[in-house]
């Protein structure tokens, strides 16, 4: 009985899973269309992942990824490839519109898809991996050779899985070569050339492709296109994972918190600074940052703060600006397409940081030169009336308060006195012969 129930459960699960990949041909069906425009990063991963989930829920016949990218992060590209390979719904990557490209990471995504299509005036290729934080080496770099070998094997495995030109894929990785759409079709790098999405669906109709659930015959000629646009979550993620903005948010958060700690009670700078710092750290933890660069940035900020409170004739300030500038340059690799920190932004932030330090140091210097308005030291020179006095000590009323006083033996109660200096917890006083109101 248990085996019979188990067989029924497995059959029911299979009956529910199969329509997601191969919907019934007697209905128009749905095709999910999403666009990836720009560098491949964490936001692109999130958008593709949720689009594939939508396609599964809608039992779509096909997912079309309209692609135009200069490349992007290796980790994000591999995440998208994994999601495409694990999707029960077939995926077609379409490099469009005319003038679009699928460079670097886009080439891998194109190879991973069941249907690889391009607009007539588009191109793909230049898939050589770039190391994060690496500088051009005059001699052969063993680590670079390992990265290229790994990427070559990766794109070769994708080509063999989809039955495409593995030799050219490996050449795109090792030699950074590119192809136009007609050349890619001729060399069996792509499946077809289409004018637009409608043309792509017409040409894909009737083709057999393989998914994780087995062979599927596409029926897309009359399918309804469901456009899956990036929502606010994807847009926010795309913004805060921009390295330049993440760096600006981090600096803004640090300086806002520093201002709040220096001037307690304003509240707003502290709130804004905390929010900016959390957003910056969230964005940076999703990017392949260099910890050496991040450490140099914090060290530079620490030197700048120390210069404001411990003046060192500019030594700490200059060292802080240099450390910050080097750290910002090393934070993200500038050669990674779409994920570099521009040098002009580094220069602007360094100048702003220096100006902030000069401003804070100037305010601190003025504060140190300002005369005291509170404390026992402010009573020196104040006048009052001696209330009682004997044997060189007594009590006097000064500025409305009673203070223990010390003075010469000739002083008598009721006399007008003036504070000459502070001696421990008592005030040294002398008889005041000047005219004027008591307590001034």
pLDDT 10s digits, 285-302 = 777 788 888 888 889 888
Mean pLDDT, residues 140-151 taken together: 80
CATH 2.40.50.140 in the chain is located at 376-431
Fold of 27-234: 2-enoyl-CoA Hydratase; Chain A, domain 1 (3.90.226)
E strands, 38-161, in order: 62-68, 91-95, 101-103, 115-118, 123-125
pLDDT of 104 > 70? The answer is yes
Chain-centre distance for alpha carbon 176: 29
How many Å from the N-terminal Cα to the C-terminal Cα in the chain? 104
| pLDDT at site 183 | 95
CATH 3.90.226.10 in the chain is located at 27-234
Decide: helix, strand or coil at residue 93: strand
For the domain bounded by 376-431, which CATH number is listed? Answer: 2.40.50.140
| pLDDT at site 16 | 37
pLDDT of 82 > 90? The answer is yes
Q: Which of the two residues, 20 and 213, has the higher pLDDT score?
A: 213
Distances (CA, A) of 99 to 104, 110, 180: 16, 16, 10
């Amino acid at each position: 009985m248990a085996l019979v129930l188990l067989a029924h459960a497995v059959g029911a699960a299979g009956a529910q899973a199969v329509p997601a990949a191969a919907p019934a041909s007697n209905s128009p069906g749905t095709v999910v269309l999403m666009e990836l425009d720009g560098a491949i990063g964490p936001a692109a991963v999130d958008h593709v992942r949720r689009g594939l989930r939508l396609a599964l829920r809608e039992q779509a016949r096909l997912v079309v990824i309209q692609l135009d990218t200069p490349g992007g992060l290796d980790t994000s590209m591999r995440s998208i490839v994994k999601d495409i390979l694990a999707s029960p719904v077939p995926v077609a990557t379409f490099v469009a519109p005319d003038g679009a490209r699928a460079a670097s990471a886009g080439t891998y995504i194109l190879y991973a898809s069941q249907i690889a299509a391009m607009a007539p005036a588009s191109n793909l290729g230049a898939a050589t991996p770039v190391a994060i934080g690496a500088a051009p080496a005059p001699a052969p770099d063993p680590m670079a050779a390992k990265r290229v070998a790994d990427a070559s094997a990766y794109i070769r495995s994708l080509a063999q899985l989809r039955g495409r030109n593995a030799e050219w894929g490996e050449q795109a990785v090792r030699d950074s070569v590119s192809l136009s759409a007609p050349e890619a079709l001729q060399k069996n790098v792509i499946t077809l050339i289409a004018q637009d999405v409608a043309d792509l669906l017409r040409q894909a109709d009737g083709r057999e492709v393989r998914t994780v659930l087995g062979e599927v015959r596409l029926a897309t000629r009359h399918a309804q296109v469901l456009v899956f646009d990036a929502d606010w979550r994807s847009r926010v993620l795309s913004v805060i994972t921009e390295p330049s903005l993440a760096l600006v948010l981090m600096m803004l958060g640090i300086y806002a918190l520093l201002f709040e700690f220096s001037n307690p009670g304003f509240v707003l700078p502290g709130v804004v600074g905390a929010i900016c710092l959390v957003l910056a750290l969230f964005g940076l933890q999703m990017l392949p940052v260099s910890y050496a660069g991040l450490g140099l940035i914090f060290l530079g900020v620490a030197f700048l703060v120390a210069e404001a409170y411990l003046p060192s004739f500019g030594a700490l300030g200059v060292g802080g600006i240099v450390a910050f500038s080097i750290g910002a340059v090393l934070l993200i690799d500038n050669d990674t397409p779409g994920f570099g920190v521009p040098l002009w932004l580094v220069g602007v932030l360094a100048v702003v940081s220096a100006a902030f330090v000069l401003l804070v140091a100037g305010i601190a210097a003025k504060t140190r030169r300002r005369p005291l308005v509170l404390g026992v030291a402010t009573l020196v020179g104040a006048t009052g009336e001696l209330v009682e006095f004997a044997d060189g000590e007594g009590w006097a009323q000064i500025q409305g308060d009673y203070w223990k006083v010390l003075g010469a033996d000739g002083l008598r109660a009721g006399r007008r006195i003036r504070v000459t200096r502070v001696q421990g917890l008592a005030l040294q006083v002398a008889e005041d012969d000047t005219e004027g109101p008591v307590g001034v």
